[in-house]
Amino acid sequence: MDQFQLLLKRALDLLVCLAILVMGMPLLVLIGVLVKLTSPGSVFFIQPRVGRNGKVFQLIKFRTMTCNHQQDAMTWTKAEDSRITPFGRFLRDYGLDELPQLINIIKDNMSIIGPRPPLPAQVEKYTKIQRRSFRMRPGVLSLAAIKGRRGIPMEKRISLHVKYVENWSLCLDIVILWRSLCVVLGKQNASELEENNSEDLGS
């Protein structure tokens, strides 16, 4: 990989995150208050994920599900899942539940674009080739997401993550960002933006 481009990617991540945090702080505070007022429980949903070089970190999201449910870590949430709160559904529809991951980016755990970070339990089943996806920081947005999530098997999603890493360029990041924005602006379900929604894997 071009080390200069990687440094530029990191610099752009930080600049974008800081800009969003400064300009969007009122929105972030408002969302946090509404999450708290519309359902009992914590404002944030925090879950261990595997990132660059196989390092485990704590992924942060706004909570979109009720707190009195537990589920198997390898199952997915359906669009009509009753555990999703009404306000949580709104956050998912527009990808606003992902905003706290800006903190993960600033802490150098994630990037704006990259492979989605899996759970440690999932990584135990990864092959040597699949582990190549850990060569880059995981992203809030991913190549696998814009290819569609619901109909793609896990093996295919992981292969897309590996494909992203092995063919990475800043131009590819721009394409993924643009197509992801089109999904949100087109009011499609925000699950199309990520192949591995953190609350889909437990609450």
> Both tokens of residue 3?
């080390």
User: Which range, 53-57, 76-80, 88-92, is most confident?
Assistant: 53-57
**pLDDT tens profile 42-68:** 999 999 999 999 999 999 999 999 875
pLDDT band at 186 (very low <50, low <70, confident <90, very high): low
Is there a contact between 81 and 145 (Cβ–Cβ < 8 Å)?
Answer: no
Distance CA 137, CA 200 (A): 21
What rounded mean pLDDT belongs to the chain? Answer: 84
At 56, phi and psi to the nearest 5?
-85, 135
H or E segment to which residue 11 belongs: helix 3-38
Within 82-150, where are the H helices? Answer: 86-93, 101-106, 120-123, 143-146
Does the pTM exceed 0.85? no
Nearest to 190 by CA among 88, 106, 42: 88
As a whole number, mean pLDDT of residues 89-100 equals 90
Structure token pair of residue 181: 């924005």
Cβ density class 43-69: b for 16+ within 10 Å, e for less = eebebebbbbeeeebebbbbbbbeeee
| pLDDT on residue 201 | 41
Question: In the chain, what are the domain boundaries?
Answer: 3-201
